[in-house]
Structure 1
Amino acid sequence: MTDSPPRAAQELDAEDAKLVTLARGARARAGAAEGAAVRDDDGRTYAAATVVLPSLTLTALQAAVAAAVSSGAQELEAAVVVGTATEIDPASVAAAGDLGAAALILAGPDGAVRSRR
């Protein structure tokens, strides 16, 4: 038996489906509320999970955007957030927007796409 992606993830193009997989992995590894992944205009991908420390709090998407920027990314093609929320929070939308993300995808913990803008 193979572990295939959820049907909605299969309907995404291969690059966006990869982002869903990376975001799910980041969320699972960290045991976090959310995982996120972004793809820059060179095709490089970055994944992160929610960060909650006494001195620092970042949404998963903010953390993924920060990882991309710290690696030299100047523009994003797409961003994915995986979690239980029904919408991507405004701080995350703003972070992705700072780098012009053309696509914002929200998926549930199972990888099923809930929304795309």
Structure 2
Amino acid sequence: VLFFSILFGAGLTMLGKNGQPVIDFFERLSKVFFNILSIVMKLAPVGAFGGMAFTIGKYGLSTLIPLGKLMICVYATMALFVFIVLNFICKLYKFSLWKYLAHIKEELLIVLGTSSSES
């Protein structure tokens, strides 16, 4: 998909002004999709809360124990990566881990808060 998307973009660029209407269409379409995605992202916590409420209501609080263990494992893995792997890379290229972490703190908060790599 990515390969053909790049080829499609190159073909549109080669068309010059004749390809501009198609480019304009895709720019408008991308704005629509980003608006839809924004709505979904705003409603996702409500859906997650509903799913958790249903699960706890049906199976009890004990269902949270495996989820808690998973969360501990995920955060421990992130910490190990930062303090071992990333620290090694920082030392290899002679810059401070703490300065680097301060530089990317906003991205880190998104990753830690959502467990997502989209940031």
Report if TM-score (shorter chain) is over 0.5. Answer: no
Higher Cα Rg, which structure? 2
> TM-score band (shorter)?
under 0.3
Structure that is richer in helix per residue: 2
Higher strand share: 1
Q: TM-score, normalised by structure 1?
A: 0.22
Normalising by structure 2, we get a TM-score of 0.22
